[in-house]
Chains A and B, each alone.
Chain A
Amino acid sequence: MSLRAPGRQTSPATAAETDTDAWIRVAGLDKTYKARRSEPTVALQGIDLSVRRGEFVSVVGPSGCGKTTMLKILAGLVSRTAGDVQIAGNDVNGPLPEIGMVFQAATLLPWRTVRQNVLVPVEVQGLDKEKYGARADELLEMVGLGEFADSYPYELSGGMQQRAGICRALVHDPAVLLMDEPFGALDAMTREYMNVELLRIWQQSGKTVVLVTHSIPEAVFLSDRVVVLSARPGRIAEIVDVELDRPRDLSVMASDRAGVYVERIRRHFNATSVID
């Protein structure tokens, strides 16, 4: 099953390629929320980050550190106060078609079948329905939802809905997959299972992933690098390279090396105490 680029090539902008090989480039990013009555809130300050093509990067941090804000800026949903953000060579000044996003809740439309839900980006962007319809079927097959393609979301469990949400984020073959605490609403068992699934999907699709999560073990298990943000104002406290062999399965997390990474990241939170 070839899930890479069914036809539409996400134009690899030559500028970004040569520029230190960064697929996502964030430089000097600041975000300040201005309130009418109270003091302005500094959500993010001086964020510099480069993500290579095909890399899996997680962002962790204490509650309210601005990690979701950072992801929304990448998605073009929230404006930035200062700094540069580029994805696949494009300046981010609004939602880019090169983005696929998975949300905290699956956010499927209840009046559409699973397949019609997966095809939402295709419909919105006016892409070839037949070609991408085949890709939607392949993706659903890959996440084990093949037989549920014509079901409605209410017939699916939470984990299954979220897998459909991942298919929707991948269907238009985006350059980058952004994930905002996608498994936070799932129970622990389903969550572990979804982590394994996500790794498999990532390996098969070769996408660049930025994942925001509350769970340090989840970040370590999945990522090449973990970006640790400090409490407000959100700054990068450390970027941890996770050098665990791939492909990984859950037994990796029982290893000492994984434990060392988890501890190292957790120390940042113990210093600031708040963690959710």
Chain B
Amino acid sequence: MTTATPAGSTVSDPPGQSPKGSAAVERKSRFDVRERPELLLVPAVFVVLILVWQFLIPLFVDDYVLPVPSSIVDSLIQQLTDPLFWGHLEVTLRESLIGFLIGVGSAILLGTAISQVRLVEKTLMPYVVAFQTVPKVALAPLFVVWFGFGLTSKIVMAAVISFFPMLINVIEGLRAADADRIQMLTVFGASKLQIFRMVRLPSAMPFIFAGLDIGIVFAILGAVVGEFIGAKEGLGYLLLQTNYNFDIAGMFAVLVVLSVLGLLAHFLIRFAQRKIAFWAEESRVIAA
């Protein structure tokens, strides 16, 4: 304690602290292949797999059992140029999205009530836990009986199956708020509602997005399973049709479309997360 510092100085911190530096370094190496060899290795594995499948596997397996990638691409192109296919795609999309919104929306409402009101939690949690252990896919035949061969049974299936992962994440997320932050707001006189809005809800965002991410993929799964059981349209129905016709390449084409659908939904949610819950991402970068 011997150095005299001018009492009026308003410079930033003493040397050795450049908070923005580490983030800059992080960003620079993001697409550097030497830093991240997986950027090359992931596509390389894909190419090798496709080549083996195309040229090696036909030597041992008949084409009508496991069609080569080029036949699948042919079939895919044929599907994508058929307006009927787009009709099926639209149906499945509609079922998944409506089901997703209903499932996720009700999970947010119920999760909020359970996490904030002790009595609701004590009353409903046993039922939640009990119902959660039921394999939801097994309910699909029941829903078809109850709600018919149309959209409704698939929407219900998608909603039920995307409901639980979201519910658990909402409950956990709303409880994850840092006690120090709540105390800080309390000192400044915040009401319970203000604490919920200003700390609990933002703290839950990473959890909510995790729930959305799982939920959207589950919703597509639910819709397709529903279509398996009984439907006149949709990608699940198309999958069964190609199966009956022993059009394995056609089945693969539908599977490719379903996978791309799931991937797109996943990236859409991740993109929204990065925009809306940006801080979680950034603080992880800083912590690295």
Q: A: which residues have CB within 8 A of B?
A: 75-77, 95-97, 99, 101, 103, 105, 107, 109-111, 120-121, 123-125, 141-144, 152, 154-160, 172, 189-190, 192-193, 196, 199-200, 217, 221, 247, 249-251, 253-254
Q: B residues within 8 A CB of A154?
A: 23, 279, 282-283, 286
With beta carbons under 8 angstroms apart, the residue of B13, B14, B181, B189 that contacts A97 is B189
* Bound complex: CA A220 to CA B120 (Å): 53
The 4 closest A-B pairs by CB, nearest first: A144-B10, A110-B279, A253-B1, A121-B188
* Bound complex: CA A192 to CA B187 (Å): 27
Q: B residues within 8 A CB of A143?
A: 10
Total A-B pairs, Cβ < 8 A:
117
Q: B residues within 8 A CB of A160?
A: 12-13, 19
- Known contacts being A120-B185, A152-B282, is A253 close to B2, with CB within 8 Å? yes
A217 touches B1 (CB 8 A): yes
A250 touches B202 (CB 8 A): no
B282 touches A193 (CB 8 A): no
A105 touches B180 (CB 8 A): yes
* Bound complex: CA A251 to CA B4 (Å): 5
A156 touches B19 (CB 8 A): yes
Interface string of B180-199 (1 = CB under 8 A from A): 11011111111000100011
Total chain B interface residues with beta-carbon distance under 8 A: 42
Q: B residues within 8 A CB of A109?
A: 181, 198-199, 202
Q: B: which residues have CB within 8 A of A?
A: 1-8, 10-14, 16-20, 23, 178, 180-181, 183-190, 194, 198-199, 202, 205, 277-280, 282-283, 286
Q: Which residue of B lies closest to A97 (CB)?
A: B189
Question: What are some 25 contacts across the A-B interface (CB < 8 A)?
Answer: A77-B187, A97-B188, A110-B282, A110-B283, A120-B184, A120-B185, A124-B198, A152-B282, A154-B279, A154-B283, A156-B19, A157-B17, A157-B19, A159-B14, A189-B16, A190-B17, A192-B3, A193-B13, A200-B8, A221-B1, A249-B5, A249-B7, A251-B4, A253-B1, A254-B2
With beta carbons under 8 angstroms apart, the residue of A77, A103, A159 that contacts B13 is A159
